[in-house]
Amino acid sequence: MLDLRGELGTVEAVGKYRIVLPLGQGGTADVYLAVADGPSGFTKLVVVKVLRKSLASDNEFRLMFVSEARLAARLHHPNIVQTNEVIEVDGAPVLVMEYLDGQPLSQVIVRGKQGGFTLAMQLRVIADALAGLHAAHELADFDGTPLGVVHRDVSPHNLFVTVEGHSKVLDFGIAKLERSLVETEVGTVKGKLRYMAPEQIAGDKLDRRADVYAAGVILWEALTGERMWKSLPEHEIRARVLAGDLPMPEIVRPDVPAALARIARRALARAPGDRYATARQLADDLEAAMAELRLEANQREIGAMIERLFEDVRAETKRTIETKLGRASMAKGLPAVSGTGETRVLPAVVRQRRMIAAGIAAAVLLLIGAVVARVASVATEANSATPAIAPPRHEVPVPAAPAAKPQTNLTATSPDATAKPDEIATAPVAPPRALRPTGGARTTAPAAAKRPQAVAAPPSSAPAIVPTVPPTVPPTVPPTVPPRTPAVDCAHPFFVDSDGIKRFRPECM
């Protein structure tokens, strides 16, 4: 949707970009602040430059705009506004550029007259802008052939100062390429008359030294604190520039330092050959004079001054952006933008993943809590129980076994094969074998305090009575209650002592 006309505040779309508010209108294009929606919910403020619909069908203007886009996409320098991409929407080319938080130098000069924006700061901005201009002038084609870029519209309106103190060159809209597809007609003048070089006014062929002249005019205005030709009509300006009849800065303002006045005069020379050959040469001389005169200013100081001078403008712009974005993105949940021009919104997928992660974390915490509670419960039960643990076998004194008949066919698991039934019946029961609890710890029945007496044999007519083994003392029996003495079981009348020797129990003899 490309119909951007309408009252201020109407939000329209240019391709994937949502228009927030207009920033300015030029002779051939309109500039808007827009929002770029990207993946993962990220958004960023950008500037879109759209060729006017009335000119989109004009082949000359269209080619000129496309030529600017082609050039801007090739320019990469800290002191040149960055072009992100060039798109075409509804048959009209659109230039997408980075959003800069700051003000044009023209506005900074006006407000700076109230105090604070010093000569040193202006010279620093000019020197940095000259670095960007030199990078554009040096641009070459992919085969190494110089493109011969000439901006042709260098002026305080196209030099931008950010709140970080950076100087940026804007708007290569009428820049001239030596190998351009669009040829300027002889005598056609493009640019701002006040900053035009004599050869530009005359319509002659231009090179980079025309931009050096325009930078000299900006330097002249910084030194004098006035606009050049401010009260003259255009025809007189043309005549005097072509004649080289320029007011010298030290004439307008006698306190201008001689070193700076000399630099301005050379940059404004009538003949291109008498000027600085490159923008870098002009910047080098300017910085040398600044160091000599101790006119120093860093980017941090310049940025702080821009923030102070335009605090009200920046606050109003921020409110407008937040209002427009809030109305335009209510359904998408887009938050208000930050001071950096970037916003972030969590899409449904990201929110869902975070909820799942939170649920998993909660489940893990609950599981850990249950395990801890179970371990504590088992420990409590173990402490409250009275386990019957016998002393190690090697600590129990073993009485000497009396002499007995030789035995045969004895194993660790079978009874005495030669024992008589009456002997088994009348013999005391041997203590039960150790019980192996489920937990894996070996627990044995407590040893009797003294040896149990033999049980008298019943009459031969009655069957033999074998006493039963009492059950293991339950865990609930208090530790002070002594356990019952178990009966001796002579079904296993032998045992293995600590030396590994198999011995008969005396109770079963």
* Catalytic center residues: 153
- What's the rounded Cα separation, in Å, for the pair 51 and 36? 19
Do residues 436 and 442 lie in contact, with contact meaning Cβ atoms separated by under 8 Å?
A: yes
- What's the rounded Cα separation, in Å, for the pair 366 and 152? 72
Amino acid type, 241: V
Pure H helices in 268-420? 279-293, 299-309, 311-328, 348-384
- What's the rounded Cα separation, in Å, for the pair 216 and 108? 18
Which H/E stretch holds residue 271? none
Maximum Cα interatomic distance, the chain, rounded to a whole number of Å = 158
Amino acid type, 339: G
Task: List the one residue out of 189, 401, 293 whose CA is nearest residue 285.
Answer: 293
| Close Cβ partners of 18 (under 8 Å, ≥ 6 residues apart) | 11, 12, 34, 35, 37, 328, 329
Residue 80 DSSP label: B
Other beta carbons within 10 angstroms of residue 98's beta carbon come to 14
**CB-based burial of residue 322 (10 Å sphere; 0-12 exposed, 13-18 middle, 19+ buried)?**
middle
Structure token pair of residue 434: 């150790």
Which H/E stretch holds residue 201? helix 198-201
| 149: helix, strand or coil | coil
| Close Cβ partners of 117 (under 8 Å, ≥ 6 residues apart) | 108, 109, 111, 305, 309
